[in-house]
Amino acid sequence: MTQSGPLAPFLARLAQIGLRVEAQVSPGLAPAQLIQVQPGDWGQLGTEASAWGCRWVAGWGEDMGANTGAGAAMGEEGSGSIRINACFEQAGAYLVARTAVPRAGPVLASHTPSYPGADRPERHIRDMLGVAFSDHPDVRRWTRHQAWQDSEFPLRRDFPAAGRPQAQTPGDHQYSFLLAQGSGVYEIPVGPVHAGIIEPGHFRFQAVGETVLKLEERLGYTHKGIEKIAEGRNAEGLARLAARISGDCTVAHAWAACMAMEQAADLEVPPRALWLRALMCERERVANHLGDMSGMLNDIAFAFGFYQFARLREEWQRVSREAFGHRFMMDRIVPGGLAVDLDERFGAVMRDEARALRKQIGKLMAIINDLPSVADRVRGAGVLKPEYAKALGCVGFVGRASGADFDVRRDAPYPPYNRLTVKVPVHHFGDVNARARVRLEEVTASFDLIEALLDGLPTGPIRAGWTLPKTGAEGLGLVESWRGEIMCFVHFGPDGRIARFFPRDASWVNWPALELLIHDNIVPDFPVCNKSVNGSYSGHDL
């Protein structure tokens, strides 16, 4: 197997130790390299990738159908099997590894022993497709929450999209949370229903006095069946669905899904549309970082800062509504380009807005940084050690606050970022303060990018005519959302309809960090620690 590129030495290493690896060509998965791995070598692949320093990005499966079913009708190889994929990254180079197991009694080695971040994704595959990971350390359900029987797997082709709902879903009270033992240890259950307007998620604390010994999360309460209801949609319908995976990442998720579909269709998007997509994505980044700063200050009871950052976010989103017709810019990104153009007059408005906001943030931070009461709550609180962030594969501001120097826009650049300079702030303390500082520095970097995007905005059309991809075509989308890297996979069936859609939100790899960074903190610091991570429940609970 002859390979070139950054991952060539790793692939040569796999061949050297006798792994049966076959390089395959799938243009829609570019820039990722695709390899086919024998199922018996799957576990060893994870071990070698970890030893080589690759980051585990995502894992997903796909039912290829029974021998006489949909897979065979689509003319696909491997019908009668379940195809398992894992994506790795190193130095901005991506690798998609693929294997297949039979639909009847599928068993595969786990990557979790080598990659702790693979834990929940593999449990999700098991719950949704019935694939057993033989050496996985946790056999508990993750996604199902008793909503369907043990023998039912919703992502199998023969499972109806509407499911087979019972009259009443049984309670999930038998989920076995891990316990801490010892004198004075007590348990605090929080959620899944919370006092505020946030989505549901359960947190189980073990504490002594006010000191947290252990935290375990239980997510999945907003499971929407995104992957299942994507099946059979056309391209435009999938873009609308992707935009609703997580409302605060609507631009980034829609862009990733459309990028994947456009890759599969070999469709060239007009330059103006690409630059405007980036403009919207940077506006989404600024709005959410401002909102998170507001939320973190609220969680330490600094009302002045809470209101001021919330005000700035609101004013920013009002301009987005005027310029693009929607506060969150939802459904503006469509297959082939954009649904709306930007009126020329908004260029000056956005430049002035960015300049004014720089000054206001500077004044606010001069006040906030001078307050010992703020510093006492955020410095040294919720420390995520760099080695933990690396082990989990944390991305975005969570990873960068703990030394993980990676950003898709810079390290695996996609248009128009391949023509721009992207500043990526990185800190190493890993505490709440570091995560706040990364956010603020990213806001400043986004202002620079917004000005560059407006200065270089091309003229021309904003949408190309959609062409139906070939049956079996697949595509990969990689976008840096405000939370971090989004990876999206699409696979087309007949008539340009979606056969498989898998979006991996950054929250999948960032949520587990909260369980580690809360250790030895006091219970009252949990809200600000949680907000400093701000994982998306909806983005995780597909």
* Domains, the chain, with CATH or none: 8-133 (3.30.460.80), 226-337+346-458+469-540 (1.10.645.10)
Residue 158, both tokens: 């023969």
According to the model, what pLDDT value does residue 111 have? Answer: 97
The CA–CA distances, whole Å, from 141 to 178, 289, 425, 536 equal 14, 33, 37, 20
In the predicted structure, residue 73 carries a pLDDT above the cut 50: no
The CA–CA distances, whole Å, from 188 to 25, 142, 171 equal 52, 21, 19
**Hey, is 184 helix, strand or coil?**
coil
Q: Could you tell me the maximum CA-CA distance found in the chain, to the nearest angstrom?
A: 70
β strands within 165-265, DSSP E = 185-190, 202-208, 211-218
Range of lowest pLDDT (7-16, 201-210, 430-439, 499-508):
7-16
Is the pLDDT higher at 457 or at 170? Answer: 457
**Hey, is 6 helix, strand or coil?**
coil
Start-to-end CA span in the chain (Å):
37
Q: H-helix or E-strand containing 336?
A: none
State pLDDT tens for residues 463-508: 999 999 999 999 999 999 999 999 999 999 999 999 999 999 999 9
Torsional class of 53: left (φ above 0), alpha (ψ -120 to 50), beta (otherwise): left
Range of lowest pLDDT (5-14, 258-267, 318-327, 532-541):
5-14
Average pLDDT over every residue of 125-147: 92
Contact 422, 407 (CB under 8 A): yes
Task: Please provide the average confidence, as pLDDT, over all residues in the chain.
Answer: 92
Among candidate residues 72, 147, 149, the one with its CA nearest the CA of residue 103: 72
Among 10-19, 171-180, 334-343, the range with the most confident prediction by mean pLDDT is: 334-343
Helical H segments across 266-302, by residue range: 271-299
Cis peptide before 271 (omega within 30 of 0): no
Cα Rg for the chain, rounded, in angstroms? 23
State pLDDT tens for residues 407-448: 999 999 999 999 999 999 999 999 999 999 999 999 999 999
Torsion over CA: 368, 371, 375, 378 (sign): negative
Average pLDDT over every residue of 444-459: 97
pLDDT range class, residue 72, cuts 50, 70, 90: very low
Contact 407, 542 (CB under 8 A): no
Q: Is 348 exposed, middle or buried (0-12, 13-18, 19+ CB in 10 A)?
A: exposed
State pLDDT tens for residues 74-105: 334 455 899 999 999 999 999 999 999 999 98
According to the model, what pLDDT value does residue 540 have? Answer: 95
Distance CA 405, CA 444 (A): 18
Contact 143, 124 (CB under 8 A): yes
According to the model, what pLDDT value does residue 79 have? Answer: 59
* Percent of the residues in the chain that have a pLDDT greater than 70, as a whole number: 97
Residues near 93 by beta carbon (within 8 Å), at least 6 away in sequence: 5, 6, 7, 31, 33, 412
Q: H-helix or E-strand containing 350?
A: helix 345-368
Residues near 235 by beta carbon (within 8 Å), at least 6 away in sequence: 261, 265, 335, 466, 496, 498
According to the model, what pLDDT value does residue 67 have? Answer: 52
Buried b (16+ CB within 10 A) or exposed e, 118-130: bbbbbbbbbbbbb
State pLDDT tens for residues 229-285: 999 999 999 999 999 999 999 999 999 999 999 999 999 999 999 999 999 999 999
Is the pLDDT higher at 170 or at 287? Answer: 287
The CA–CA distances, whole Å, from 413 to 92, 442, 448, 479 equal 9, 17, 17, 9
Average pLDDT over every residue of 375-388: 95
